[in-house]
Structure 1
Amino acid sequence: MKNEFSKLKRKIILQITLILLLTIIVGYFIYFALIDGVLQAPFANMFINFCEKVLQLDFYTAQNIYSSIFQLNKPLWLAIGFILLLLVIFYLALSRFTRYFNKISEGVDRLTEESEAEIQLPAELDFMEKKLNTVKSKLEKRAMDAKEAEQRKNDLVVYLAHDIKTPLTSVIGYLSLLDEASDMPMEQKEKYLKITLEKATRLEHLINEFFDITRFNLQSILLEKETINLNYMLMQMADEFYPLLAPNGKQAIVEVEEDLKIDADANKLARVFNNILKNAIAYSYENSIIEISGTRKNEQAIITFTNKGKIIPPQKLDMIFEKFYRLDTSRATQTGGAGLGLAIAKEIVHAHGGSISAESIDEKTVFTVTIPIHS
Structure 2
Amino acid sequence: MKNNTESFKLKRNERQELWIEGILTMSLLFLVDFAIGNIIVNFIRHNQGVTDGIFIIKQSVTFGPFRQPILSWEGLFWFIMLLINGLIAWWRLVRIYKRIEISRIIDELHYISDGHFEHKIPFQLSGDNERVVKSVNFLVENVIKSMDDERRIEKSKDDLVTSVSHDLRTPLTSIIGYLGLIEDHQYQSEADILKYCKIAYEKSQQMKLLVDQLFEYTKANNLKQRKLEMNPIDVNQLLTQLETSFALEASKRGIKIVVKPLKKDVIMSSSAELVGRIFNNLITNAISYGEGANKICLSAKVKGAQIQFTVANDGKRIPTSIIERIFERFYREESSRNTNTGGSGLGLAIVKEIIQNQGGTINVNSTDKLTSFVFTLPIKGKQTD
TM bracket, shorter-chain basis: 0.5 to 0.7
Aligned partner (choices 153, 161, 182) of residue 160 of structure 2? 153
Q: Partner letter of residue 246 of structure 1?
A: S
Give yes or no for contact 2:314–2:369 (8 Å, CA) kept in 1: yes
Question: CA-to-partner distance for each residue in 1:315-340, whole Å, 9 max, x for gaps?
Answer: 43233223333344754354353332
How far apart are 1:263 and its partner, in Å? 0.8
Q: Partner letter of residue 206 of structure 1?
A: L
Aligned partner (choices 252, 271, 277) of residue 265 of structure 1? 271
How far apart are 1:296 and its partner, in Å? 0.7
Distance 1:140 1:171, change over 3 A: same
Aligned partner (choices 340, 362, 378) of residue 356 of structure 1? 362
Residue number in structure 1 paired with 2:99: 95
How far apart are 1:106 and its partner, in Å? 8.4
How far apart are 1:177 and its partner, in Å? 11
Deviates more, 1:338-347 or 1:235-244: 235-244
Residue number in structure 2 paired with 1:207: 211
How far apart are 1:346 and its partner, in Å? 1.7
Residue number in structure 2 paired with 1:255: 260
Distance 1:98 1:114, change over 3 A: closer
Distance 1:153 1:132, change over 3 A: same
Residue number in structure 2 paired with 1:300: 306
For residues 82 and 157 of structure 2, what CA distance do their matches in structure 1 show? 72
Distance 1:193 1:337, change over 3 A: closer
CA RMSD of superposed structures (Å)? 5.3
Q: Partner letter of residue 358 of structure 1?
A: V
Residue number in structure 2 paired with 1:168: 175
How far apart are 1:184 and its partner, in Å? 5.0
For residues 279 and 111 of structure 1, what CA distance do their matches in structure 2 show? 47
How far apart are 1:238 and its partner, in Å? 3.1
Matches within 5 A, 1:1-375: 35=33, 44=38, 84-85=88-89, 87-95=91-99, 98=102, 113=117, 120-122=122-124, 142-143=149-150, 145-169=152-176, 172=179, 197-212=201-216, 215=219, 220-257=225-262, 258-328=264-334, 331-335=337-341, 337-362=343-368, 364-375=370-381
Distance 1:111 1:142, change over 3 A: farther
For residues 340 and 238 of structure 1, what CA distance do their matches in structure 2 show? 23
Give yes or no for contact 1:119–1:132 (8 Å, CA) kept in 2: no
Distance 1:348 1:121, change over 3 A: farther
For residues 137 and 376 of structure 2, what CA distance do their matches in structure 1 show? 34
Secondary structure of 2:325 counterpart: coil
Distance 1:300 1:316, change over 3 A: same
For residues 190 and 144 of structure 1, what CA distance do their matches in structure 2 show? 48
Secondary structure of 2:276 counterpart: helix
How far apart are 1:368 and its partner, in Å? 1.1
Give yes or no for contact 2:295–2:314 (8 Å, CA) kept in 1: yes
How far apart are 1:282 and its partner, in Å? 2.1
How far apart are 1:298 and its partner, in Å? 0.9
Q: Which has the higher contact order (CA 8 A, sep 6+)?
A: 2
Question: CA-to-partner distance for each residue in 1:33-69, whole Å, 9 max, x for gaps?
Answer: 985xxxx69x85xx9xxxxxxxxxxxx89x98xxxxx
Secondary structure of 1:262 counterpart: strand
How far apart are 1:170 and its partner, in Å? 6.7
Q: Partner letter of residue 292 of structure 1?
A: L
Distance 1:216 1:152, change over 3 A: farther
Structure 1 residue runs of 5 or longer lacking an equivalent are 1-7, 9-22, 48-59, 65-70
Secondary structure of 2:232 counterpart: strand
How far apart are 1:303 and its partner, in Å? 0.2
For residues 314 and 208 of structure 1, what CA distance do their matches in structure 2 show? 29
Question: What's the TM-score, normalizing by structure 1?
Answer: 0.63
Identity across the alignment (%): 25
For residues 226 and 333 of structure 2, what CA distance do their matches in structure 1 show? 25
Distance 1:328 1:278, change over 3 A: farther
Question: What's the TM-score, normalizing by structure 2?
Answer: 0.62
Distance 1:218 1:230, change over 3 A: closer
Q: Partner letter of residue 332 of structure 1?
A: N
How far apart are 1:197 and its partner, in Å? 4.9
Residue number in structure 2 paired with 1:50: none
Distance 1:226 1:176, change over 3 A: same
